[in-house]
Structure formats: structure tokens, C-alpha cells
């Protein structure tokens, strides 16, 4: 069994991220071949505080129940799709904080990125690719870049109301990008299984 998680990158009330993540989840479940399971991992359900562990995650020793819960959730998967907005030209704080809470749980797994923002969230995704390298997450090339202008429908919406996000209506051209991304995340998640097995047998020395 290959298990994939769709991970939300934002947690704020009235975020656009959940609608995007639900679209990725539905598409991934439809596309999933035999032996592939896809689940949503919504950061908002974990209420992680700003990193408060005394030891670096590379030690794998967690003092807090919220970290152990997050660790168990992430360790259960072989690959991930991060659904991320761009905040101030970079990675949103909640997602960076969530990645920093863990270390070995991410190792030798695959990750793909669905970004959204004024320019498709591309600057956040570029930063996440650097972070992925340190976490030994193999990032796949295909990427989805959604526009908060053209991939949401604001018909009849009061744009001065901060609780209104518009209705997510992705342009159909994104379907091919998402299909390619999901295919590569699946293939790489499977291909890295022997590497994960090897590192379970021979754990690397912790670094600080």
C-alpha cells in the first residue's frame, strides 16, 4: 500500500486553502491506482504552537503530546502534496512551523506542490523545495500554480468583506498539471520504499 497525504499549508479562518486542498484530494482519489490511498492532513486540526520542543526534531525525542500526534500523522504516509499559499513572498508560517516540528518522519518520501496566490504561489514553492532537500524529501517537478484572481469566482461577492474568499473554480488547464504531479508523487513514493526500509534498518546518527 502506498499512502499519500494532501497537506494544507494555511490555518487561518476563512482561508482559501481548504477548498484547494479538497479539490486536490478529490482529484487524487479519482486518479489513485490500485494500492494507493489518499488522505487529507489539515494543519488546522493539529493546532501546533510555534515550535516549543526543547530538543531539535532531528533527535526524534518529543516532549509534547501535540508533537507526538503530528509525528504519528506524518509518519504514516509515503508521500505528500503540500497545498500552499504564498505569504509575503515566502512559505506561510504555519507550514514552515509544521515542517520544523519533525525530521525523520519526512525522510526518503516524495513531495509535490500546489501553490496559490497572486502569481501562483511560486515563490513559496521555490522556498519549500530548498526546505525539502534538508528534510530528505524528494520534490517532483510538475507543479500546480493557481491564481487567486482567475481561479476563484467572485461574482456577486462583497470584496470588502474579509470572510469572503470567492468560490474556487480552477481553470481546466490545471487538471493536466495536477495529474502529472500526482503521478510523479505516486511513482517516487513507491520507488523510495527500499530507501526507507534501509534507513529503518540503519538509522543515521542524529544531528543537532
Ligand X SMILES: Cc1cc2nc3c(=O)[nH]c(=O)nc-3n(C[C@H](O)[C@H](O)[C@H](O)COP(=O)(O)O)c2cc1C
Total residues found in the chain within this entry: 208
For residue 203, the 8-state DSSP code is P
DSSP calls for 68-95: HHHHHHHHT-SEEEEEEE-BTTB--HHH
8 A C-beta contact, residue 151 and residue 168 = yes
Residue 17 makes contact with ligand X by CB under 6 A: yes
Q: Count the neighbouring beta carbons within 10 Å of the beta carbon of residue 13.
A: 7
Nearer CB in complex with ligand X: 119/199: 119
Residue 16 makes contact with ligand X by CB under 6 A: yes
Residue 87 makes contact with ligand X by CB under 6 A: yes
CB of 21 to ligand X, least distance (A): 9
Residue 67 makes contact with ligand X by CB under 6 A: no
Site for ligand X in 173-192 (CB under 6 A): none
Nearer CB in complex with ligand X: 60/166: 166
Nearer CB in complex with ligand X: 148/189: 148
Query: What does the alpha-carbon distance between residue 181 and residue 138 come to, in Å, rounded to a whole number?
Result: 13
Residues near ligand X (CB under 6 A): 10, 12, 15-17, 85-89, 117-119, 148
Amino acid at each position: 500500500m502506498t499512502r499519500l497525504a494532501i497537506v494544507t499549508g494555511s490555518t487561518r479562518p476563512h482561508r482559501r486553502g481548504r477548498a484547494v486542498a479538497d479539490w486536490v484530494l478529490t482529484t487524487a482519489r479519482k486518479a489513485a491506482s490500485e494500492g494507493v490511498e489518499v488522505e487529507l492532513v489539515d494543519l488546522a486540526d493539529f493546532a501546533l504552537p510555534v515550535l516549543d520542543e526543547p530538543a531539535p526534531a532531528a533527535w526524534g525525542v518529543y516532549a509534547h503530546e501535540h508533537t507526538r500526534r503530528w509525528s504519528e500523522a506524518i509518519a504514516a504516509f509515503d508521500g505528500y502534496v503540500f497545498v500552499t499559499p504564498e505569504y509575503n513572498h515566502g512559505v506561510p508560517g504555519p507550514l514552515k512551523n509544521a515542517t520544523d516540528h519533525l525530521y525523520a518522519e519526512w525522510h526518503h518520501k516524495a513531495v509535490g506542490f500546489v501553490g496559490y496566490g497572486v502569481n501562483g504561489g511560486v515563490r513559496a514553492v521555490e522556498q519549500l523545495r530548498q526546505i525539502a532537500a534538508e528534510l530528505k524529501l524528494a520534490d517532483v517537478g510538475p507543479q500546480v500554480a493557481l491564481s487567486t484572481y482567475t481561479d476563484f469566482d467572485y461574482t456577486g461577492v462583497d470584496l470588502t468583506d474579509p470572510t469572503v474568499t470567492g468560490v474556487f473554480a480552477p481553470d481546466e488547464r490545471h487538471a493536466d498539471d495536477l495529474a502529472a504531479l500526482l503521478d510523479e508523487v505516486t511513482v517516487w513514493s513507491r520507488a523510495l520504499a527500499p530507501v526507507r526500509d534501509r534507513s529503518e534498518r540503519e538509522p543515521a546518527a542524529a544531528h543537532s
